[in-house]
Amino acid sequence: MNSRRILYPLTAAVILGYYLFFNWQSLHMYFDTDDMYALYFAWSKPLSQIFKENLYLWKGEFRPFGAFFYRGIFALVGFNPLPFRIAELAVCAFDMGLCFWFTRLISRSERTAALATLLFAFQVRMIEVWWRTTVIFDVLCFTFAFIAAGLYIKARRDSGDLSAGRVVTLLILFVCALNSKEFAVALPLFLVVWELLFNTSNLKRILKSRAALTILLMGVLTLIYVAGKLHGAATMASNPSYTPVYSFARFSDTWGEYMRDLFVLKERPAGAVSMSILAGMAAIAVALRSRVLIFAWVIIFFGLLPVSFAPPRGGYEIYFSWIGWVMYVGALLVALQDMLTRTTPQYRTALACIVFVLVGWRWGKLNLHTLRTETRDWLYGPPAEVRDMAKQLRAMHPDLPRNSRVMFLEDGFTTGEWTPMFELRLLYEDPNMVVDRIKSKTERPPGWLQYTSADKVHYDHVFTYDSGTYFEVPQAIAALQGLEIADHGSRDRGLK
């Protein structure tokens, strides 16, 4: 019996089992505060505006493709986090298959692809990718960009050039990737490097091909997109959390933070160490004359370059370039296996199986140990805050009349957040609901609805919060706060 008929489904089952083992519990994760922001703006905008934002690259709108994900699922299931979690994990599972396909396409090695996909399935410091729905922007960016890259490379290998239909498809995928997250700007460079490394055609022939035209058009779209991001109405450059600092110190510090997450270290390595690792990987790739390793290094370096001068946001930002890391490790391990079995090639399959098991065991052990020992209040805290408000208020009031006015004397969120307003409007599907908070210190921008009178603000419901529990405030107590609750004559809960 052909060993592939056994090893192929067995390998796929092991990788899928590994993926589910580490990620199935994320199905219980609730919406977090970032989800409320993304979902609210996806739901509150006219659908025509979302389409326009995805077409007008020069306006620099904030990752508009994700709005289709949030709005589409919300329209089907409403305020229910489980379908969102299932959808996000399904896309991540698809990305594992994409990782195998793309790695095999580049390396022409199923052993390399299997090892790369096993490593790709989960990384503990990148846990937000699989446990937070709001990281769907990174996930979709990877999906569209590497489908486009794979289709481009496969067409170039199979037929030598691209059909007109393939060019249009690639440009659509590229725009979708750009509108998902900024990492996609690296895609045209990936394709140029692939042409230089793997295409044996002469330069003049390449320049006259539709492939060159495709890369050129992608480059033009990239310039338009970058201009919009830097100078458009929704520019991110003025946000301190995203403001880049173009210096070697910021570059090395940022890479140090990502190296700490990549290698699951307790402390950030010094900038010189991080730069030495990058340089060493490039040197090994060149010394071995491995086009696969060089291409993987390009994905690693340039895939993370869009955020290399900005403040580090978390390990999840490595996701777009993660395929480069796992491809590099997989190709290097396979190269070592081939060196060991140079005179005994009949043992390569057996050795590949042993290496696969050992890598899976060691990588899984590291991930599991770190998962169990590190605290993650930053991951579990925000969903708990959103869940407490949604479930407790829904229990008190399954429905609220349209245009209701609500005040929170206290709540479980930090000062200056808009999450309570986003959440209640989504929970009751009322875009005109007024949600005010005593603790909010921020000034409302123009266009945010609120109901006021000359002397005081009238509210239909007033709530407060203490030790994880929300309470509705009786009318007499609210009056002492200088608030007036509208008496609808129907609230017969002893709160009159």
Burial per residue of 19-57, b for 16 or more beta-carbon CB atoms within 10 angstroms, e otherwise:
beebbeebeebbbbbebbbbbbbbbeeeeeebeebbeeb
Tokens at residue 208, please? 């006259």
DSSP E strands in 272-344: the ranges are none
Kindly report the pTM of this predicted structure.
0.91
pLDDT score recorded for residue 453: 40
Helix ranges (H only) for 108-184 are: 110-120, 128-131, 136-158, 164-180
Residue 334 CA neighbour count, 13 Å, CB half: 22
Question: Of 128, 13, 70, 116, nearest to 371 (Cα)?
Answer: 128
* DSSP structure string for 67-120: HHHHHHHHHHH-S-HHHHHHHHHHHHHHHHHHHHHHHHHHH--HHHHHHHHHHH
Q: pLDDT by residue for the chain (496 residues), tens digit each? A: 467 778 889 999 999 999 999 999 999 999 999 999 999 999 999 999 999 999 998 888 889 999 999 999 999 999 999 999 999 999 999 999 999 999 999 999 999 999 999 999 999 999 999 999 999 999 999 999 999 999 999 999 887 889 999 999 999 999 999 999 999 999 999 999 999 999 876 777 888 889 999 999 999 999 999 998 887 766 666 666 778 888 999 999 999 999 999 999 999 999 899 999 999 999 999 999 999 999 999 999 999 999 999 888 899 999 999 999 999 999 999 999 999 999 999 999 999 999 999 999 999 999 999 999 999 999 999 999 999 999 999 999 999 999 999 989 899 998 878 999 999 999 999 999 989 888 775 454 443 344 344 445 578 888 999 999 999 987 645 554 555 555 543 333 333 3
CA distances from 361 to 18, 21, 131, 179, 365 (A): 10, 13, 22, 37, 6
Question: Of 101, 82, 76, 3, nearest to 35 (Cα)?
Answer: 82
Q: Cα(first)–Cα(last) distance of the chain, in Å?
A: 79
Write out the H or E segment, with its range, that includes residue 216.
Answer: helix 210-231
Length of the chain: 496
CA distances from 133 to 84, 384, 422 (A): 7, 14, 16
